[in-house]
Amino acid sequence: MDEAWQMGCSGRSTLALEVALAVHQASGHPDDSHVRARSAQDIAWYCFQLGKSEMGLDYANEAVVIWRHLAEPACEAQALSIQAWLHMELGQLEEAVALAAEALDLADQCGDLRSRSLAINVTGVIFWMSRQPPLAIDYCGRAVALARAAADRNFECWWLINLGGSQAEAAYMAQESGDRAGFETAIASAIEVTRRAVGLARALDDAWAERLCLANLAEYYNAAEDFVSAEQFLAHYRGIANEDDMRGEGQYLDILGRTLISLRRPEEALVPLQRAHLLATRSGNVETLMFACLYLSRAHEHLGAFEPALDFHKRYHSLHQQFTAERTQRNARLADIRYETKKLRMLLDTEAGRAAEIARSFAVLQQQTTMLTEAANTDPLTGLGNRRRLEAAMDAIDASGEGYMLAVLDVDHFKAINDQFSHLVGDRVLIALGALIKGTLRSPDLAVRFGGEEFVVLMAGVTLAQARKACERIRLTIARHDWSSVAAGLSVTVSIGVALSSEGGVSHEILEIADRNLYRAKQAGRNRVMATARTGGSSDH
């Protein structure tokens, strides 16, 4: 299986699939459960790589069931993530959202970096496919950071490709709205990230990822109207001596045809576009077929063949209507879920005999509706809440009138940690800090990663003495922690600024006071807690 995985990571996915299928078929004995689960999960991934989504789902389902029976949560989370991704490939948004939520929850519980990286990446892909690029960029970026922290260079490479795709989606949406500057900034980011990915793919000898990167770069340069560069990337694509899958070949042929038309070589464009049209017809890929018809129409028009040009344009128009309707329906499903929830509530009032069944359906719909909101309020690297979660909590506590404490924590000399030990170690420090901070708090308290190496703690109903004690406990826990498991010779301390709600008006003002006290703690020598004294000055502890 390890040999097959190396094949799948080096562009030989068809061969990897054959090996994994043979292992799976031979693993019929009960003692072979781990082998059977692993082979089923890997088969599902190779099917994803090769565009065999329906086949992959059967094996992903099997892997989930076996891993759950074996009580292997990290592996189960990975299988659930692949399952969610395959559903997304098939346009089944509800199933993808539900499974991604389950994978995220399980990966967070087990704390496995690789599983969290995969689950967070899939969540980012869902945001991307739902045309929510800001969230997609955030989550795909976090997935890349987690893959780097897990020292999984293949995951890092693959998730970089998705990050580039999310940034390209932001560019296309800016272009649609007439925001030229926004388009240029976003497409430049997509190109830069994808160039990083192609460099990593080459270092790993991953021909599958390299092909994806080169095709995407050609597409992005086409969008930027640099058609010469686009053709150069496509020439590099052709130079990769390795197998290709139907989906990848269809994308390549489509982009090649578009590029040749833009370069005013319509006769050359006909051959790849006709092949793309044939492949898309066989596979049933509506999007590829739609674009093949559009550019075949343009190629024939440039050649003066107006009858076939009109015929292909009519086919394009019909497919465009179908594709737009399907995408609109898919993107509207989250809103539909809320509507269906209201309908279910009405049924509860009128059909008491079906109450239990409807309640179960309601719970599923609620989970699907809230999954993206929950994901948007969580910091993927540490598993804590993020700035959005804190702002919502502060708005709620302002409305309640309840007394509270806000503490701002900052890692001392964090830049030096990154410089001396590497950014990989820096990410691991942040992950460990999230767990240490959360472990010292009461269940009602909220800890969030505010940004970079800065954390914020919100505690309701505490006195100044209790606030100081709680923050001192956090400081000591971090200072006394054995950091050698992260890196030999590493030590980590934090400075903390504390403020109580009685010191100001709304919570955002209290946060500013806590931040000023953090600055005083830094100025006073770091590794200390600083709170505003009752006399109006400040005191440390």
Residues 166-191: tens digit of each pLDDT: 999 999 999 989 999 999 999 999 99
Model confidence at 102: pLDDT above 50: yes
Q: Which has more confidence, 69 or 11? A: 69
Report d(CA 108, CA 106) in Å as an integer: 5
Tell me the pLDDT tens digit for each residue of 368-406: 556 666 667 888 889 899 988 898 898 888 888 889 999
pLDDT at residue 538 is higher than 50: no
Most confident of 92-96, 111-115, 294-298, 432-436: 432-436
pLDDT at 336: 45
Q: Specify the pLDDT at position 355.
A: 40
Collect contacts of 32-39 with beta carbons under 8 A, ≥24 apart: 33/66, 33/69, 33/70, 34/70, 35/1, 36/62, 36/66, 37/62, 37/63, 37/66, 37/67, 37/70, 37/72, 37/75, 37/79, 38/1, 38/63, 38/75, 39/1
In our burial notation (b when 16+ CB lie closer than 10 A, e otherwise), range 39-48 reads: bbbbbbbbbb
Provide the pLDDT for residue 377. Answer: 80
Q: Concatenated DSSP letters for 401-426?
A: T--EEEEEEEETTHHHHHHHH-HHHH
What string of H, E and C letters represents the secondary structure of 219-257? HHHHHCCCHHHHHHHHHHHHCCCCCCCHHHHHHHHHHHH
Q: What does the pLDDT read at residue 328?
A: 56
Distance of CA 331 to the CA centre of its chain: 18
Q: Check if the beta carbon of residue 104 is closer than 8 Å to that of residue 74.
A: no
Length reported for the chain: 541
- What is the structure's pLDDT at 323? 67
Query: According to the model, what pLDDT value does residue 353 have?
Result: 42
**pLDDT higher than threshold 70 for residue 364:** no
Selection from 118-132, 228-242, 445-459 with the highest mean pLDDT: 445-459
Give the residue among 528, 527, 471 at the shortest CA–CA distance from 499.
Answer: 471
* Global pTM value: 0.63
| Residues assigned a catalytic role | 453
Instruction: Return the H-helix or E-strand segment holding 258.
Output: helix 246-262
Instruction: Taking residues 413-421, report their average pLDDT.
Output: 93
Yes or no: say if 263 and 229 are a contact pair by the CB < 8 Å rule: no
Percent of the chain clearing pLDDT 90 (strictly above):
45
* pLDDT at residue 345, as a whole number: 41
Quote the pLDDT of residue 183: 94
Q: 10 Å Cβ neighbour count for 223? A: 18
Residue 339's pLDDT is: 41
How far is Cα 213 from Cα 534, in angstroms, rounded to an integer?
60
What is the layout of strands, in order, in the sheet containing 404-411?
A: 446-451, 454-460, 404-411, 494-500, 529-532, 538-540
Q: Which residues contact 358 (CB under 8 A, 6 or more apart)?
A: 344, 347, 348, 351
Q: What are the tens digits of pLDDT across the range 496-510?
A: 999 999 988 788 899
Q: Per-residue pLDDT tens for 198-210?
A: 999 999 988 889 9
Mean local confidence (pLDDT), 316-328: 69
For the chain, the straight-line distance linking the first and the last C-alpha, in angstroms and rounded, comes to: 56
- Residues 208, 7: Cα–Cα separation, whole Å: 10
Sequence-distant (6+) residues with CB within 8 A of 493 are 411, 412, 475, 478, 479, 526, 527
Does residue 10 contact residue 204 with C-beta atoms inside 8 Å?
yes
* Average pLDDT of every residue of the chain: 84
Q: What is the reported pLDDT for 350?
A: 44
Neighbours of 216 (CB within 10 A): 23
**Rounded mean pLDDT, 347-366:** 46
Structure tokens at 128: 């991307």
The answer to whether residue 522 scores a pLDDT higher than 90 is: yes
Condensed to tens digits (0 to 9), the pLDDT of residues 246-278 reads 556 777 888 888 888 888 898 888 888 888 888
Spatial neighbors of 131 by CB under 8 A, at least 6 apart, are: 169, 173, 331
pLDDT for the residue 140: 93
Dump pLDDT digits (tens) for 123-162.
899 888 888 898 899 989 999 999 998 999 999 999 999 9
